[in-house]
Structure 1
Amino acid sequence: MTEFPASLLNGYADFMSGRYIEERERYQTLAETGQKPHTLMIACCDSRSAPETIFNCGPGELFVVRNVANLVPPYEPDGQYHATSAALEYAVQVLKIRDIVVMGHGRCGGIQAALDPLDQPLSPGDFIGKWMGMLRSTADQIPSTDIMTQAERQTALERVSIRNSIANLRTFPCVRILEEKGSMRVHGAWFDISAGELWIMDSVTGDFVRPKVTAPEQTMAKAAS
């Protein structure tokens, strides 16, 4: 039998002796009653930007969909295989999610591939090339490095891509109808890996701004005063 990665087994041992003991009742309740997450999070596969870690969420709180570059394809009921669309459908129709967040991040490899496609595909299937093709026309509109640095171009496309995915979300009838009724909210967010900064998309202007948050130590200080 192939040897299972030791680092994962060690991590599991730590989990069972630590967090699982602390949250045993929650896990048992979730097993018996099912999941009732409050938010659908559409995030990137990148190992550096895990939503559960960034938002400090426990089990059962987030319904997470991760794909290369956190893309949402447009609504296409064409009989093909659509993993992100299937997850979206389940989250909205079965879990009754009422908040959806599309979260991108800095230094995204998928976005870099959209800006500067490889001369040769990584494999005969060219799965990443085809997937990132959804952004090709958008990437072509980002000014060249004669005007912007490569880092500036990438950050720009990372954020524009979030707005593009939100626009695609609204092509799904289940999202559009609920949002028009006021019972569904769609959000955009961008996480800077190096600085740990979270930027939130303004729902009116589309600009990304830093939210005002209170650090835990500040909250404790206020409570004690």
Structure 2
Amino acid sequence: MEDILSQLKAGIRRFRTEVYPEQAEKFQTAATTPQTPHALIITCADSRIDAESITSSGVGDVFITRNIGNLVPPYGEMLGGVSAVIEYAVSALKVKHIAICGHTDCGAMKALLNPAGMESMPTVKTWMRNAAAALSVADSLTTPEDTHESRLKKLTYENVLLQMQHLRTHPSVAGAMAREELTISGWVYNIGTGEVRITEDGSRNFYPVTVEGDLSGDEKA
């Protein structure tokens, strides 16, 4: 335990001596200026996901909330932290965009495919009900040729699409979208390749954010 805390302290020292000095002015401005993030990113609590790094965002650029499976409970069913973050981001901070970011090799999606593994974690099991419909859709699209990996991939994409539907049930989101003050998108981040695929405008297709020389194509959920 103490070794882990020592690692964290070492990281703080590096931040104070290497990172902070290079951005001191930005941090000082942030400390005295109300935050004005332009987007809310709802992503997974997985320790391998760093939304700020993926989007090259700086101090104060994005409002972020993380939870197991990047889930958004439908409004009214589980009013809690996620719902409060969404309402605050839209109503108080006036973010212009909300992105729901799933990812490859997601433990939450694996748990949906193997629910027996959640029996010793009743709170997690209850939370994952918010992704049940995604599992049903993915199962309906499964063919005899599908492997465990391909089922996991389908479920990951379907879960992002489902959470986007749930997001639209929140009054603050529905109102802002109706006034054309807010847009939403769904992302799937590939941990191994760094690729991010995005769906928007109601499409089921996830298109890669390409870079020069990238030959990736679109991908249906």
The question of a shared fold, defined as TM-score above 0.5 by the shorter chain, is answered with: yes
Q: CA deviation at 1:153?
A: 0.8
Amino acid in the other structure paired with 1:193: I
SS of residue matched to 2:138: coil
Question: Are 1:148 and 2:137 an aligned pair?
Answer: no
Contact 2:138–2:158 (Cα < 8 Å) also in 1: no
Output the CA distance in 1 between the equivalents of 2:4 and 2:207. Answer: 43
- Farther-moved stretch of structure 1 (102-111 vs 29-38): 29-38
The match for 2:81 among 80, 83, 90 is: 83
Q: 1:6 to 1:198 in 2, by over 3 A?
A: same
Question: What is the match of residue 5 of structure 1?
Answer: 5
Amino acid in the other structure paired with 2:159: S
Equivalence map 1:48-87=2 (5 Å):
48-76=48-76, 82-87=80-85
Output the CA distance in 1 between the equivalents of 2:127 and 2:53. Answer: 26
Contact 1:42–1:102 (Cα < 8 Å) also in 2: yes
Q: What CA deviation, in whole Å up to 9, does each residue of 1:65-100 have, x standing for no partner?
A: 000010011110x7x651100111111111111110
The match for 1:194 among 189, 192, 195 is: 192
Q: CA deviation at 1:37?
A: 1.0
Amino acid in the other structure paired with 1:147: E
Q: Percent identity?
A: 31
Output the CA distance in 2 between the equivalents of 1:185 and 1:136. Answer: 25
Question: What is the match of residue 212 of structure 1?
Answer: 210
Equivalence map 1:90-129=2 (5 Å):
90-118=88-116, 121-123=119-121, 126-129=122-125
Q: CA deviation at 1:145?
A: 7.1
Aligned alpha-carbon RMSD (Å): 2.0
Q: CA deviation at 1:58?
A: 1.5
Gapped regions of structure 1 (runs ≥ 5): 216-225
The match for 1:133 among 118, 129, 135 is: 129
Q: What CA deviation, in whole Å up to 9, does each residue of 1:11-34 have, x standing for no partner?
A: 111111111101111111111112
Q: CA deviation at 1:159?
A: 0.8
Question: What is the match of residue 178 of structure 1?
Answer: 176
Amino acid in the other structure paired with 2:22: E
- Farther-moved stretch of structure 1 (60-69 vs 206-215): 206-215
Amino acid in the other structure paired with 2:144: D
Amino acid in the other structure paired with 1:94: A
TM-score (norm 2): 0.88
Amino acid in the other structure paired with 2:125: G
SS of residue matched to 2:69: helix
Amino acid in the other structure paired with 1:5: L
Give 1 or 2 for the bigger CA radius of gyration.
1
Q: CA deviation at 1:202?
A: 3.7
Q: What CA deviation, in whole Å up to 9, does each residue of 1:167-220 have, x standing for no partner?
A: 1111111111111221101011110111111111142422111123359xxxxx
Question: What is the match of residue 161 of structure 1?
Answer: 159
Contact 1:115–1:140 (Cα < 8 Å) also in 2: no
Contact 2:198–2:209 (Cα < 8 Å) also in 1: yes
Q: What CA deviation, in whole Å up to 9, does each residue of 1:43-81 have, x standing for no partner?
A: 0000111101211212111110000010011110x7x65
Question: Are 1:41 and 2:41 an aligned pair?
Answer: yes
Contact 2:118–2:124 (Cα < 8 Å) also in 1: no
